[in-house]
Chain A
Amino acid sequence: MTDPILIFDLLLAAAVVALAVASLSVRDLFVAIVLFITFGLLSALAWVRLAAPDVALAEAAIGTGVTGALLLKTLHHLRYVTGTLNRPEAFSVTPAAPVPAPVLWANAAFCGLITLGLAVAFLGAPRSGPGFDALVAEALPQSGVEHPVTAVLLSFRAYDTLMEVVVLLAAVIGVWQIERGLSDAPAPVLGEVFQGFARLTLPAIVVVGTYLLWKGAEAPGGAFQGGAVLAAVGLLLLLSRLYVPQPSHRGVARWAFVLGTGVFAGVALLVAGGGRVAFEYPPEHAKTLILLIEGLVTISIAVTLAALFHGREPVALRTDGGRG
């Protein structure tokens, strides 16, 4: 209780919980999404406080930035489809059907029970229990990188990360299939000021994204954070109409989607072919291989996230050719 920073902790925790409640209870969906974005950024701040800067970067860039952009784009599309665009009095999109009171009460009781169980488990568990810290610290010199989180992601638990990249690939395939033939809501024209802003910030974002990737070997950062920052380049290009996806770009996009997964799996197979276990990189090449994988995975992540934001596969439409 003596530490003054605990007051900050308590305030931040209260703000996070209040924002979570507000983003689900506020009537206007747009406000809900904006509150959610604020919630995500404050959560990232809390994770910085808990000595997890990598996670905070990933949450701020991917969990809040890209997710927020996806949600806002979807809301725009839904309002366009239902004809409630530019009508502030239309708060939600799906019409609300009355829910029987017993169902509500059953749901509430169910949620309460689960929360109670979680709370008991959390409060009863040993704090700061034995984790993997000692094992990771012991094996870190063999991994080829100096930053433990990067070592865990790309060396010790590389299978997980490979599958994660595959999930991203599956998502973009799914989105392209689901949206096939769907007409798109016209993107809002954001004007010249925004275009100038995009032109000004694009080079800086590219530098920051590459820096995060490069720095990931020894300090917080890495492929996912760098990829998300580079995906912001794609979002700015799409929003400012400096880049308009054309049907003829699909081939390049497909290659970019599979590049990371392909190289990741290829390295694993090569290493395995050399008489080792997959992802047991030869120590003298470990850093080179990890950086190679990270670099190409970053490109894939950036292109995939931007494609997820764009949504529909760029195909030639009847009215105007492949406008995004």
Chain B
Amino acid sequence: MMFGTMPQLTPDLIYGVTGIAVFAIGLVGALCAQDRLRRVLALKLCSVGAGFVLVVAAWRVPPAAPDPVPHALVITGIVVMVSATAVALALIRRLQTLETEDDA
């Protein structure tokens, strides 16, 4: 596709741009958010954005079947992300408890 020409509007273009936008929003949030919980939320947004781009890469114009390999990668990514989120949240809970005990 050439820049400058108006690209044909297709689902993969729409959702690909969506994915990049979501990733960017998550990136800004992860860097700028003050709250720890919100930062984890922002990283999770980043992972969903990456998932969007991968799923879009697997999409084929129907009736062709999509590429299963990126799908498997995204499923793996989702499970890894929930593991990482769980550990991050446990660290946040611990940290908050320690800080509150210090204040008291």
Do A and B come into direct contact in the complex, CB within 8 Å? yes
Is A171 an interface residue when CB atoms closer than 8 A count as contact?
A: yes
Task: Report chain A residues within 8 Å CB of B81.
Answer: 63, 67
- In the bound assembly, the distance between CA atoms of A207 and B41 in angstroms comes to 32
Given known contacts A13-B18, A63-B82, is B11 in contact with A6 (CB within 8 Å)? yes
Question: What 0/1 readout, one digit per residue, does chain A (34-67) give for beta carbons within 8 Å of chain B?
Answer: 0010011001001101111011001100110011
Given A99-B34, A108-B32: 8 more A-B contacts, CB < 8 Å: A6-B11, A20-B22, A29-B38, A51-B66, A58-B74, A92-B37, A94-B35, A128-B60
Stretch with Cβ within 8 A of B (4 or more), from A72-80, A194-202, A270-278: A72-80
Is A289 an interface residue when CB atoms closer than 8 A count as contact?
A: no
- In the bound assembly, the distance between CA atoms of A215 and B26 in angstroms comes to 35
One of A66, A168, A172, A224 near B75 (C-beta < 8 A): A224
- Find out whether the CB atom of B18 lies under 8 angstroms from the CB atom of A17: yes
Is A104 an interface residue when CB atoms closer than 8 A count as contact?
A: yes
- Find out whether the CB atom of A123 lies under 8 angstroms from the CB atom of B3: yes
Given known contacts A17-B18, A122-B53, is B48 in contact with A182 (CB within 8 Å)? no
Is A93 an interface residue when CB atoms closer than 8 A count as contact?
A: yes
> 8 Å CB contacts to A: which residues of B1-30?
1, 3, 7, 9-18, 20-29
- Find out whether the CB atom of A63 lies under 8 angstroms from the CB atom of B94: no
Given known contacts A50-B59, A51-B59, A170-B83, is B68 in contact with A149 (CB within 8 Å)? yes
Name 16 A/B residue pairs within 8 A (Cβ), A-sorted: A13-B17, A16-B22, A36-B41, A52-B66, A54-B75, A62-B78, A67-B85, A94-B37, A97-B34, A112-B24, A115-B21, A127-B10, A132-B69, A133-B67, A149-B68, A171-B83
- Interface centre among A23, A32, A66, by most B CB within 10 Å? A23
Task: Report chain A residues within 8 Å CB of B79.
Answer: 58, 62, 164, 167-168, 224, 301
Is A175 an interface residue when CB atoms closer than 8 A count as contact?
A: yes
Interface residues of A, dominant DSSP: helix
Number of residues from B at the complex interface, CB < 8 A = 81
> Nearest chain A CB to B15's CB is how many angstroms away?
6
- In the bound assembly, the distance between CA atoms of A54 and B62 in angstroms comes to 17
Task: Report chain B residues within 8 Å CB of A218.
Answer: none
- Find out whether the CB atom of A78 lies under 8 angstroms from the CB atom of B92: yes
- In the bound assembly, the distance between CA atoms of A316 and B94 in angstroms comes to 19
> 8 Å CB contacts to B: which residues of A172-212?
172, 174-175, 178-179, 182-183
- Find out whether the CB atom of A93 lies under 8 angstroms from the CB atom of B27: no
Residues of chain B whose beta carbon lies under 8 Å from any beta carbon of chain A: 1, 3, 7, 9-18, 20-29, 31-38, 40-42, 44-45, 47-48, 51-53, 55-62, 64-76, 78-87, 89-94, 96-97, 100
- Find out whether the CB atom of B45 lies under 8 angstroms from the CB atom of A119: no
Task: Report chain B residues within 8 Å CB of A151.
Answer: 68
- Find out whether the CB atom of B58 lies under 8 angstroms from the CB atom of A52: yes
- In the bound assembly, the distance between CA atoms of A291 and B29 in angstroms comes to 41
Task: Report chain B residues within 8 Å CB of A311.
Answer: 90, 93
Given known contacts A136-B68, A168-B83, is B28 in contact with A50 (CB within 8 Å)? no
- Find out whether the CB atom of B14 lies under 8 angstroms from the CB atom of A149: no
Is A252 an interface residue when CB atoms closer than 8 A count as contact?
A: no
